[in-house]
Structure 1
Amino acid sequence: MSLHTTRIALTHALLAAFHPSLVTFRGVSLPLPAELHSRICADIHAVVTQHLLQCLQECLHSSLSSLCEDCKTYNSCVFGSCVVDWPCTRTGAKCFCTTAEPSTPRNGVSDDCDYECSSSFMLPCRDCSQPPMYFINHVRDILSTYSSLDPKFPYAKFPLRNGNDIDSVLSTMLSTLGCKIKPSPVMDNWGIADEVVLVPSSTATDEQQTTLAHLRITLQLSPRPSSISLHVAHLRTVTYQQPVRLDTSAGKCALFV
């Protein structure tokens, strides 16, 4: 017995489910029918999830704003208009054009660089075993916000430096719901759209069925992963369009290519 989803869908489902306002509402005893109470929880969960997607887009916009216009144009010409397709967006590379001298190598980038050493004008190393920096920053910001709303929020203590840290947060949250992430034989990559399999912690068959049903309702996860593309689609709406320059835009683009 298992439940299949993706890491980005699971992350947002858990972040929405553990929003302090929703946790508080679940703990309040109200004279409401169980069905109505569940419906209100589902509506709050949907609103929070939509807000999380908007925050994720804001993280991408923040990455875009850290680049100068020349770097943006270069990346747009080479990698396309979708910001998530730019290597510098994944690695978190900053723009050094305003500080580096034209004759100076840009920040001494080498083959064994980490994701804080690459200029956006070069091809940064693609460490696919780690999550994109914008996603790490996104999760860190959300947990920090929750902590400010509720000083007793227990999940803001994680350092969130890499994929293992994010998986630790997700696993700890899932453990309170009686589930865990099934270990994957593929350990080389860490992708936000990678499939993850959720299994109950219990070994009793009847209890497993109940646990998975409760998990699906609490996290509002679809029995089929057809809705998961929605999360990735929100990422790809953040695009950069080159400014129109009647005399120089064509030549400039050709220079970069």
Structure 2
Amino acid sequence: MPINRVAIGLPREDVVHPGALKAALAEFISTAIFVFAGQGSGMAFSKLTDNASNTPAGIIMASLAHAFGLFVGVSTATNISDGHVNPAVTFGAFLGGNISLLRGILYWIAQLLGSTVACLLLKFSTHGMTTSAFALSSGVNVWNAFVFEIVMTFGLVYTVYATAIDPKKDDVGIIAPLAIGFVVGANILAGGAFEGASMNPAVSFGPALVSWDWTNHWVYWVGPLIGGGLAGIIYNLFFITRTHEPVPSTSEF
């Protein structure tokens, strides 16, 4: 079971080690790049269309901006921190035994700070425009949004595992950032008109904090964490094969 491989970690190695701090900085920068592009595209479209961002054109613009921004964010951080750029991805990796708890918490802090700084920069550079918190559309209740977030984040983290974490990924590893960006863009096309399609607690946290709007905010944490956690456990349980070959004796050398 994946849960058997869950590790707490050591502060000296997973929190204060220079390698850990570099990885956290990479997560901070990549998350800021992603949120600045995604949130900024929505603010730009609202300005151009007099606050009519929740239209077919606005959804397509958000989908493209998030797909491109995440592609860049994951690509730039992959060689340093594995390019999570998302607390739900980090949580799924933790439950699958691929990152320690302490390193995961460090990533979460970096991701939330990156999102917040990106939103503050957007508010400053747009002369005080509102960084819109994620919200439900008319006729959509919190449980509809909750299921949306679980399903979409499951698809995202499942894609991360298949293309970036799976030890057998060598033949597809080069397309991992592209596939991850594509699945987020596709999910925004599917769920953006209903509840914003976050799939990422950090993406929701920054705008909510800067605009101080926490309406239904729990949906954008609990849904993605459940979806990401399920994807991590299921992919590890059914698709990752770990062989335990005996250590060769000296006579075999």
TM-score range, shorter chain: under 0.3
Report which of the two structures shows the higher radius of gyration computed on alpha carbons. 1
Indicate the structure with greater strand content. 1
Per the normalisation by structure 2, the TM-score is: 0.23
Q: TM-score, normalised by structure 1?
A: 0.23
Point out the structure with the larger helix share.
2
